[in-house]
Structure 1
Amino acid sequence: MTIRTAFKSMSVAELTRKLASAETASLLLALVEMTGDTAPLDRWGKWIQGPTPINAEFPTAEAEEIRAQVADLLIERGAQTERLSEDSERFRALTAAATDRVIPDAEKPLVLKEMGLLDEAFVDWSAVRPDRADQFPVVIIGAGMSGIATAIHLERMGIPFVVLDKNDEVGGTWLVNTYPGCGVDIASHYFSFSFAPKSDWSRYYAKQPEILAYLKDIVRTFGIGEKIEFRTTVQSVSYEEATQEWVLEIRTGDGPARTMRAKVVVSGVGALSTPSVPELPGRGEFRGKVCHSAEWDPTIDVTGKKVVLVGNGASANQIGPAIAPDVERLTVLQRSPQWVNGVTGYLDSVPEDEKWVLSNIPAYERWFRVRTMLSMNDVMRPAATVDKNWDGPEGTINEANEKLRERLIGYMRSELGERQDLLDQMVPDFPPMMKRMLRDNGWCRMFRRPTVELVTGAASRFTENGIVDEHGREHEADIIIFATGFTAARMLSSYEVVGRDGVSIRDVWGEEDPRAYLGLTVTGFPNLFILYGPNTNIGVGGSIFFQAEAQSTCIARLIRDMIERGASSAEVRQDVFEDYNRRLDQEMETLIWSLPVGTTWYRNSKGRVTANMPWTSADYWNMTRSTSLDDFVVRYHDDERGTAHADDIYRELDSDVARTH
C-alpha cells in the first residue's frame, strides 16, 4: 500500500471530492480511530444499521460534515493513528458501532486480525531459532492460496521447505480456472490475506486475472518463488516409521520418477481440484469441441457458434452471461434449478477516487475491510439453521429461510422480465441454502435473449452434431461446455497416501467419506496436514483466504512446537479425533445441508456432509488458535525415549527449551 502523506498540498475541495466516493460508515469509524474521540459515534453512529453500505445511508448534511471533518484532520495532521488495542475504550466503541449487532468479546480479536493489528498474524519462535530446525524439512503440495500462506510462515521462520506444484505457475484454482467470466463471489476487499491486504481492487467482486495477479505478487513480496518446483506431480506419499519421515515419489515434467523425503507433508491440493465430467456415451462421435470449465481450452472462440452449456451452478452462472452476447445460440441443460441472489454492486467497478481513499487512509481501509467481513461471515447462518418446530410453507426450514425464499423469487421474477414462463422451471423446490447460493452475474436476465434456451433435463449422450438430453431431444452444438463441478467428496485423490502401519487414506476414508481433526489431520498419519480438508468449506458466508490463514497458522505453530520440543512426529490422538467429529456431526444436524432433500456437492453419496463446516468462522478460528501438541501423540526418533503424550514432554526436554514455554 502506498501511503500519501502530503495532504497539506491538497485543497479542501479536492480532498472532499475524493472522500465523497468513500463509504460514509467506514469513514466515520476511521475518523474516530484517527482522532481518538468517540463523540462522533454518539452523534452519527445511529445511521449505521448494518454492515453493508445499503444498511448505512446517512442524510446528506451529516455525510458532508463527516467528510469535512476528515478532510480537515488529514490536512492538519495526516492519517496517523494510535494503534488500536482490544481493551481500549476507543476500540470497544468502534466495534459496537461498526454493524447492527453486538460483537461478542470472543470475536473482537478476529476484528483486530482482519485489520492487520493482531500480533498473531505470523508464528515466531519462542526464543531463538533452534538449530534442529535445519533437520525438519517440509514439503507443501500445491501452490494455491493455502500452500502460499503455509510457505510464507515457514520462510519467515527459516524452516527448510519446498512447494511442489503440477502447474507452470502459482495460483492453484485461480490459475487453472480461466473460463469466461471467472471471478469471485466474495467481496474483493475481504478476499485477500489480512497480513497483506490489497486496497486497489478494480472491482468490488474481482475477476480471475486480478486475483491471480494478487497471488503472484504475494509470492514475490514474501520471497518464496525460488522454493517452488513447478510442473512437478506427486504420485505417492508414504510414511516410513523407522525414520519417522515421509517418502514422496514425484516426477517433474517428462523426467524420471524420483524420491524426496520430508519430516512433514502439507497437502494444499484442496477439495475442488479434480473436475467431475459425466461419462456419456458417444464422446468420440462428436465433431465439435468439448471442455470442462476447470480445464478451459484457450483456443475456443464462441463467436457465432452454437454452444451447449451443461450445468447451471456457480461456474455456469459466470460463463453463460459472459458468452451469451457473442454466440449464435446458447442452450443450457439444467438438471435441477438453482437459487440466484442479486447483490448490490456485484458487477460494479471501484471508482478511482475510492481506490485513492483506500490506498491513502489506512484507518478507512481497515474499517472498510472489517465491515465487509461482517457483511460476509456467517451472514446466511440464520437462514441455514433448521427449526425443528417449523410449520411453514414447503421448501422452507424457518422464518428467515421463508423470507429469503420470498425475496429470491421476487428478484428472479423481476430479472426474467417478459420471460415469466421460465419462472416455474427456474425456482427450486428445495429450501434456499441447501446448495451454494449463486451471486447473479445476469443469469436470469440472460434468458430474455431470443438466442438463449433453457432445457430442463440432464445430458445423456453425445451425437455427431451435438448432445442429447434425458428426454431424447438432440441439441446441435459446435462447442459443449461442462460446468459440472468437482469430485469434492473424494479428497486427496490425485496421489496415493499411505500412513503408519501401511494403512492408506482410502482404507480410512473409503472413496468419499473423509474426516479429519479440524479438517487438518487424521489419526494414523503423523506429520501429515491437509489444507481445505474435510468439513472446512464455508457454506454460510465467509472467505477462503480466512480459512487459509487459520489453517496455515495452526500448522506452522504445531511444526514450531515439534521442533522446539525436540519431537520427531505428532499424530492426533484418537480420542481427540473422535470427540471432534462427534461434536461436528451433532452441530451439523442443526443445519440445512444434513436434510435429505435436494442434491448438493456438500454431501457424499451416502448423505453425509463432507465439505462444509458447521462452525462459525470465529469459532473455527479460535479452535485452530487453541489447538496444541496436547491434542497429539508425540514421538521422538530416539527409540529409548519411546512414545509420549504432549503433557509428559516437559519432563523430558532440556531445561533451556522447557523454559521458553
Structure 2
Amino acid sequence: MCSVSGILLAHHFRKYLSHAYTFKIVEKNHDVGGTWLENTYPGCACDVPSNIYQYSFAPAKDWSRLFAPSGEIQNYLSQVVDHFGLRSHIEFETSVKRCVWTEQDRKWLVDTEHNGILETGRKADILINAAGILNHYQYPDIHGLESFKGSLMHTANWDHSVSLAGKDVSIIGSGASAIQVIPQIQPLVKRLSVYIRTPSWITTLPESFGETESQSINTTDDYLQRCKMLESHYNKLFPVFYRNSETQLRERQELASWMESRITDPTLRKKLIPDYEVGCRRISPGEPFLRALQEPNIKCIFSPIETCKPEGLKTEDGVETSDVIIAATGFNTSFRPRFPLVGQNGVDLRELWKDDPASYMGLGCAGFPNYLSMLGPNCPVANGSLIGSLEATADFVVRLLKRVDSHSVATFAPEKGAQDDFNSQVDEFMKDTVWTGNCTSWYKQGQKGRITAVWPGSSLHYREVLAQDRWEDWRWTYLGGRFKAWGRGISVVEQEGGDYSHYMEHGPFLPKSSLAEANCRDDARAIHKSVASEGPNKTVTNLTL
C-alpha cells in the first residue's frame, strides 16, 4: 500500500538505493494515501499534531488545523509523491494475490491482479510489506447483524449517500473513530445510541500546542524548533506506560479529575471514566466527544450487545430501533497478510501468525528470506512519535540493502534464535507496563494475551537499537562465498576515482618550538652521558647513541 510507509520507502529507494535497485510499489487503490484515502467519515483526522505527522525531508507548515483532516493528509502525501517523482514507480488499482519464495532461484514470485487480469510469477529479489495495519476494517461479530433492515456501514468505509439528518442512528464503539465522528453527526441526527463496551481515556492538550501557532512562523529554523517541541512532548510521555510509575499514577489522577470536571451527570461520569491504566489502549484528544455524549439526543448504552434484530440492536435492556447502524469498531490488527505469503518449506505467514505474530523487531521473520516489513509486530506504534520511528525503520532498510549490494549477499533473514530472544524480551518487558492492564486493546491478542503491537521500550530506544545494525542477528548467504565481492582486490576509489588518501587526517600543529627544544635536550643528554662514561685512556669520538 502506498500510504505513509510505502511513500517513505519509495523516497529512500530513489534517493539512496537507485544505483543498485529498481523498485515497484503495488497499490490496490486508485491513488496514494492508504488509510487517509480510504477513511472519509465526518471528523476523520490525525490525533497527533500535523506538524510532526509529516516527513522530515518534506516539511509543510500551512496545515489548516493542529490535527489535520484526512483529506488534507492525503493531499500532502500526494504532493510528496509528485514532488519527488515517485508516481511512475506505483502500479495503481493492483492487488497482490500471492507471494511465494523460490529457494532454487532465491527470488519471490508475486501474483498480482489489475482490472480483473491476473499476472503470475512476477519476480522480485526483495519483498517489502508496507501495507500497514489500519486498512482492513472489520465489523463486530454480532449475531444477526446481516439481518438489519436499515443502512449498515463502517466508519472506514463511509457511505456518503446515506443521509443521517433526522434519523435514529446507532453507533458501536467508543475508540478513536467514534471519538471523532460522534461530535460531527450528533447535531444532525434525531437520536443517537452509542454502545460503549470499554470507555477511553480522553486527554487535553498543553496550551503551548496552539491551534494556529505554525501559521505565524516565518523562518524554517523557528518552524523546526516548534516541531522539535511537539516531538519532544510525545517522546517524554513514555514513563506513563510503566504501570506503577509515579508518572502513571499522576497522569491517571489528573486525567480523571479533568474528565470529572467535564461530565456533569454522576452516573455517566462513573461509567465514562476508565478503571484501567492510562495508555492501556490508545489515548485520544476528544473534549468535543465528552460534550456530545451529554446532549439530550444521545443515549449511552453500556450493556453488552446480545444480538441484532431487523429493527436494531438488542441488549438486556431491549431493542433500540434504528434507521442506521454505524460500526466504529476498527480494523483487523492481527498482522497476518491478507494474501498467501509462503516462505521456506512451504510455510504460509498467515498460518504461522494465526495465533501469535512473532517477528524479529517488526522488521522480518525467520524462515522468510529477503522479506522485510514496515509496522510489523511489536513496532513502536504507541511508544511516542510514529513518523520519527518509521523514518528510523526506513533508514535501517537502506543500510541493510546497501550491505546486501556491497557484500554480494544472496539471501538474508533473521536468525530463529535472535527472533526467539527478542520475543522473550518483549514478554518480560511487558509485565510491568500498562499494555498488560485490564482493558481490551488492539495492542494485544485478546484481553489477557501477548502484547504484539508495541515495542519493548520508548521510540528513542527503538531508534538507538536500529542504529546498532545488529547484523549478527541475521542469517546471510552469499553469491559465490562471503568474500567473493572482494573481486580483484580493488577499492571503490581505485575503480571510480577520487581521493587516494581519503583516510589521512591531521590534528592541530604541535607548538613551533617543541621540536627544536626536544633536539637540544637530546644533544645535552648525549654529551653528558659520554663524558660521564669516559675513563683516563678513553676518547669518545661518536656522540650518536
Q: TM-score, normalised by structure 1?
A: 0.71
The residue that corresponds to 1:492 in the other structure is: 336
1:261-304 deviation line (CA, Å, top 9, x unaligned): 10001101112222231232323432211111111112222221
Which of the residues 503, 527, 535 maps onto 2:347? 503
Q: CA deviation at 1:546?
A: 1.6
Q: CA deviation at 1:630?
A: 4.0
Change (3 A) 1:356 1:341: closer
The residue that corresponds to 1:373 in the other structure is: 231
The residue that corresponds to 1:457 in the other structure is: 303
The residue that corresponds to 2:117 in the other structure is: 255
For the pair shown, the structure with the greater C-alpha radius of gyration is 2
1:324-362 deviation line (CA, Å, top 9, x unaligned): 1111111100112221112246997416xx5142xx311
Q: Quick check: 1:558–1:628 contact (8 Å CA) kept in 2?
A: no
The residue that corresponds to 1:355 in the other structure is: 215
Task: Report the secondary structure of 2:260's partner residue.
Answer: helix
Q: CA deviation at 1:174?
A: 1.0
Tell me which amino acid in the other structure corresponds to 2:259.
M
Which of the residues 332, 354, 370 maps onto 1:527? 370
Correspondence list, 1:207-222, <5 A: 207-222=69-84
Q: Are 1:655 and 2:489 an aligned pair? A: yes
1:199-228 deviation line (CA, Å, top 9, x unaligned): 111211211111111111110111110111
Aligned mates of 2:240, 2:318 — CA distance in 1? 38
Aligned mates of 2:74, 2:96 — CA distance in 1? 23
Q: Quick check: 1:430–1:598 contact (8 Å CA) kept in 2?
A: yes
Correspondence list, 1:140-289, <5 A: 142-156=1-15, 157-158=17-18, 159-289=21-151
Count of equivalent residues: 491
The residue that corresponds to 2:202 in the other structure is: 340
1:548-596 deviation line (CA, Å, top 9, x unaligned): 211122112211211122222211222332333233332222312124x
The residue that corresponds to 2:175 in the other structure is: 313
Aligned mates of 1:241, 1:562 — CA distance in 2? 17
The residue that corresponds to 1:117 in the other structure is: none
Change (3 A) 1:347 1:561: closer
Tell me which amino acid in the other structure corresponds to 1:447.
L
Q: CA deviation at 1:483?
A: 0.8
Correspondence list, 1:317-466, <5 A: 317-344=179-206, 349-350=211-212, 354-357=214-217, 360-377=218-235, 379-386=236-243, 397-417=244-264, 419-466=265-312
Change (3 A) 1:283 1:579: closer
Aligned mates of 1:580, 1:198 — CA distance in 2? 37
Q: CA deviation at 1:652?
A: 5.6
Q: CA deviation at 1:480?
A: 0.7
RMSD: 2.2
The residue that corresponds to 2:321 in the other structure is: 476
Tell me which amino acid in the other structure corresponds to 1:534.
P
Which of the residues 584, 589, 593 maps onto 2:426? 584
Correspondence list, 1:598-637, <5 A: 598-605=439-446, 607-627=449-469, 629-637=471-479
Tell me which amino acid in the other structure corresponds to 1:401.
Q
1:475-516 deviation line (CA, Å, top 9, x unaligned): 11111111112221x21331111111212214433x131122
Q: CA deviation at 1:659?
A: 7.8
Q: Quick check: 2:39–2:155 contact (8 Å CA) kept in 1?
A: yes
Q: Quick check: 1:566–1:653 contact (8 Å CA) kept in 2?
A: no
Q: CA deviation at 1:545?
A: 1.5
Q: Quick check: 1:266–1:528 contact (8 Å CA) kept in 2?
A: yes
Tell me which amino acid in the other structure corresponds to 1:370.
K
Q: Are 1:293 and 2:155 an aligned pair? A: yes
Change (3 A) 1:631 1:616: same
Tell me which amino acid in the other structure corresponds to 1:150.
L
1:23-43 deviation line (CA, Å, top 9, x unaligned): xxxxxxxxxxxxxxxxxxxxx
Mean Cα deviation higher: 278-287 or 248-257:
278-287
Task: Report the secondary structure of 2:261's partner residue.
Answer: helix
Change (3 A) 1:300 1:343: farther
The residue that corresponds to 2:534 in the other structure is: none
Q: Quick check: 2:336–2:357 contact (8 Å CA) kept in 1?
A: no
Change (3 A) 1:325 1:347: farther
Q: Quick check: 1:554–1:627 contact (8 Å CA) kept in 2?
A: yes
Q: CA deviation at 1:187?
A: 1.4
